[in-house]
Amino acid sequence: MAAVVGALPQALLPAPVRWVVFGASGLAVLGRELGLWRFRVPENARLVPERVQHMGEWGALQFGFEMGTGMRTYSPSALPHLALLAIVLVVPFPAAFVVAAGFALGRLAMPLLSNGWSDDGSWTRLWARAEPVVRPLLALTCVGALTVAMLHV
């Protein structure tokens, strides 16, 4: 969907304008993730509604889709927003699917790690200790990968 929507600004705005907006956004997100400054990112901070439980498989499917796409979730990181902005502003249509696949793998990693670790809350404690190192590393990796990819477009 973002790739289709992105066709409009990519067709109407000159490439240098799109690159400046994307670059400034990338620096802002990188600074946020490195803890240099704080700002809120758009989020749909809602938990699982009770009606989902009464809709059977369809409710779980709908909620899973909403969570997986980031349409219904808390956003502790701005990196998904940067990936979306990249797709809308600078990523060519075919490559948007690669970025989307990377986003999907990132969304999948945390619940798999959390569920695979234990049920006693030790994952939460482990993540709390690792987050100060992992968050900047993820930010640098994401921004670096987008930058390298865009330089080769």
Burial 12-26 (b: 16+ CB within 10 A, else e): eeeeeebeebbeebb
Nearest one of 105, 106, 108, 83 to 96, comparing CA atoms? 83
Structure confidence at residue 119 (pLDDT): 73
Structure confidence at residue 1 (pLDDT): 65
**pTM (predicted TM-score):** 0.75
Dist. CA 104–CA 102, nearest whole Å: 5
Dist. CA 145–CA 139, nearest whole Å: 10
Per-residue pLDDT of the chain (153 residues; tens, 9 = 90+): 667 777 788 889 999 999 999 999 999 999 999 889 998 887 776 666 666 666 666 666 666 666 666 556 677 788 888 888 888 888 888 888 888 888 778 777 777 777 777 778 787 888 889 889 988 998 898 888 888 877 766
Residues 6+ apart with CB under 8 A from 32: 38, 39, 41, 78
